[in-house]
């Protein structure tokens, strides 16, 4: 009991410091009087969610009675316990899906005053059913604005949240490191370097037309991932080698990007900066199919291989003893993670912390089984990214990049995660 109290106090202290920093700094950065109110409200809401998850994860007697029926150590007891986790996972996914639909409606209503939150869903249904409006009808402009501007952004938000969260969950299972996420492979630094090469040097593939910038980001984001896989295989390295190689490549690519930014003009440097912090602005229907196809295909394959991910989490020796070729399987997983992550950040830029935090929060609720973690992480990632997008568009007169909001959210939670790991190592 004392342990959970100390953890709650630590959470409150961290979020209090974050709230004070926002209260002091935001009025100097933006002119909106509502900026501080929105920021503090989001901090308080997030603090309540985190504290609730911590209390929920604490193994109290009421939780055991409710979710984990007593077992006698036999297979029947194990099956009952696993089914309780499955029920909990289904309830969690359904709750997150409903919350995501509500947040999607809120997101679509932002940036226009022609329709209310209650009218958005009706407007979308009418558009799908083929209903048209007269040009003099205010709903004519509302339909164009909602369907051609806000809906693509909402769909891209959902796809990006799923992709980054699933990538983080799979990466942590593959590398067996709780601090791993898709960017451990250097994918993010590669994407920014590709954008810098296109903007500063003008080097891209002309055959792709207007997608030259996106193609550069996608191609360069795959380079560090494949280099890391290649070096790890020829050196027969362990998971530690994979992390170290990915980190080294990330630093090299970041250094080259910095050199290119020194050669760029002010406008180009601002554009590169937006890619570095991540943004959902400018999403269109032409962007969505590429993101969706890569995310859907790679996610389905990773889910079908979730049993092998569970074996890999048991340890390399145990996985080998059960017939798993760990080197080939790890390579396949890293390629899938690289592809789905690159497809997203090629359009959105770097959105950090999502792949790091979602798997940990989900594991506190549904356990460590990858068959439950992957879909649950996808649902939670969608909700968190919707929340971050809404805050980024309402907390100031000028919309902030969503990556900045995710850093505000992820920074304190990452600190708490490090403190938790340190306590477990010492204890």
109: tokens are 């209503």
Alpha helices in 110-203 (DSSP H): 117-128, 138-145, 151-175, 187-196
193: tokens are 């370097």
Closest CA to 183 of 194, 172, 199: 172
Classify residue 136 by burial, with Cβ atoms within 10 Å: 0-12, 13-18, 19+: exposed
What's the rounded Cα separation, in Å, for the pair 28 and 22? 10
The dihedral formed by the CA atoms of 358, 278, 285 and 169, expressed in degrees to the nearest 10? -20
pLDDT at 65: 40
* Residue 54 clears pLDDT 60, i.e. is over it: no
85-121 residues labelled b (16+ CB within 10 A) or e (exposed): beebbeebbeebeebbeebbbbbbbeeeebbeeebbe
Q: What is the DSSP string of 187-244?
A: HHHHHHHHHHIIIII----GGGGGGHHHHHHHHHHHHHHHHHHHHHHHTT--HHHHHH
What's the rounded Cα separation, in Å, for the pair 189 and 250? 6
Tens of pLDDT, residues 302-355: 999 999 998 888 887 888 888 888 888 888 888 888 888 888 888 888 888 888
Closest CA to 67 of 58, 75, 349, 274: 58
| Position with higher pLDDT, 113 vs 63 | 113
| Position with higher pLDDT, 30 vs 14 | 14
Closest CA to 406 of 421, 427, 385, 424: 385
* Residue 382 clears pLDDT 90, i.e. is over it: yes
359: tokens are 């798997």
Domains of the chain listed by start with CATH number: 59-426 (1.10.3470.10)
Query: Could you tell me which residues come within 8 angstroms of residue 32 by beta carbon, excluding any fewer than 6 positions away?
Result: 395, 396, 397
Q: Cβ(176)–Cβ(169) under 8 Å? A: no
pLDDT at 29: 47
Tens of pLDDT, residues 290-303: 889 999 999 999 99
pLDDT at 69: 43
* Residue 284 CB coordination number (10 Å): 12
Closest CA to 40 of 24, 14, 17, 22: 22
- Tell me the pLDDT band of 160, cut-offs 50, 70 and 90: very high
Closest CA to 398 of 151, 35, 20: 35
* Residue 19 clears pLDDT 80, i.e. is over it: no
Average pLDDT on 251-267 reads 86
Determine which helix (DSSP H) or strand (DSSP E) holds 150, and give its type and residue range. none
pLDDT at 279: 85
Q: Which of 105-119, 135-149, 159-173, 397-411 has the highest mean pLDDT?
A: 159-173
pLDDT at 229: 75
What's the rounded Cα separation, in Å, for the pair 425 and 427? 6
Average pLDDT on 385-399 reads 80
Average pLDDT on 193-211 reads 78
| Position with higher pLDDT, 87 vs 307 | 307
Tens of pLDDT, residues 325-340: 888 888 888 888 888 8
> What Cα–Cα distance (Å) separates residue 3 from each residue in 6, 59, 93, 370, 420?
5, 11, 29, 28, 11
> Taking every pair of C-alpha atoms in the chain, what is the biggest distance, in angstroms?
72
* Residue 420 clears pLDDT 80, i.e. is over it: no
* Residue 63 clears pLDDT 50, i.e. is over it: no
Q: Cβ(414)–Cβ(356) under 8 Å? A: yes
Tens of pLDDT, residues 164-178: 999 999 988 888 777
pLDDT at 64: 42
């Amino acid at each position: 009991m004392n342990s959970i109290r100390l953890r709650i106090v630590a959470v409150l202290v961290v979020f209090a410091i974050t709230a004070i920093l926002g209260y002091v700094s935001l009025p100097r950065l933006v002119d909106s009087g509502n900026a501080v109110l929105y920021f503090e409200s989001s901090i308080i809401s997030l603090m309540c969610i985190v504290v609730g998850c911590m209390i929920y994860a604490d193994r109290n007697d009421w939780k055991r009675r409710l979710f984990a029926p007593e077992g006698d150590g036999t297979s029947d007891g194990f099956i009952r316990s696993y089914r309780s986790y499955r029920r909990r996972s289904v309830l969690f996914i359904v709750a997150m899906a409903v919350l995501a639909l509500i947040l999607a409606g809120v997101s679509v209503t932002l940036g226009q005053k022609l329709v209310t939150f209650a009218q958005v869903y009706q407007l979308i249904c009418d558009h799908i059913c083929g209903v048209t409006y007269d040009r003099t009808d205010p709903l004519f402009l509302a339909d164009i604005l909602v369907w051609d501007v806000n809906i693509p952004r909402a769909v891209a938000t959902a796809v990006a949240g799923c992709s980054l969260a699933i990538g983080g969950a799979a990466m942590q299972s593959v590398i067996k490191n709780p601090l791993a996420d898709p960017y451990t492979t250097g994918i993010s630094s590669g994407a920014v370097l590709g954008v810098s090469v296109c903007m500063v040097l003008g080097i891209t593939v002309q055959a792709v037309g207007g997608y030259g910038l996106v193609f550069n980001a996608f191609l360069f984001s795959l380079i560090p991932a494949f280099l890391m896989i290649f070096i790890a295989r020829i050196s027969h390295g362990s998971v530690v080698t994979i992390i170290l190689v990915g980190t080294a490549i990330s630093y090299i690519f970041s250094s080259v990007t910095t050199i290119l930014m020194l050669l760029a003009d002010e406008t180009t440097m601002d554009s590169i900066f937006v890619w570095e912090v991540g943004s959902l602005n400018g999403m269109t229907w032409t962007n969505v199919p590429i993101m969706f196809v890569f995310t859907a295909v790679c996610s389905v394959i990773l889910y079908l291989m979730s049993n092998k991910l569970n074996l890999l989490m048991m340890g390399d020796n145990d996985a080998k003893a059960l017939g798993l070729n760990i080197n080939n399987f790890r390579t396949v997983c890293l390629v899938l993670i690289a592809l789905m992550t690159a497809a997203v950040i090629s359009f959105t830029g770097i959105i950090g912390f999502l792949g790091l935090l979602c798997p940990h929060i989900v594991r506190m609720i549904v356990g460590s089984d990858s068959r439950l973690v992957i879909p649950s992480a996808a649902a939670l990632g969608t909700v968190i990214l919707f929340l971050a997008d809404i805050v980024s568009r309402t907390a100031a007169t000028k919309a902030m990049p969503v990556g900045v909001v995710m850093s505000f959210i992820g920074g304190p939670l990452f600190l708490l995660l490090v403190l938790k790991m340190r306590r477990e190592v010492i204890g």
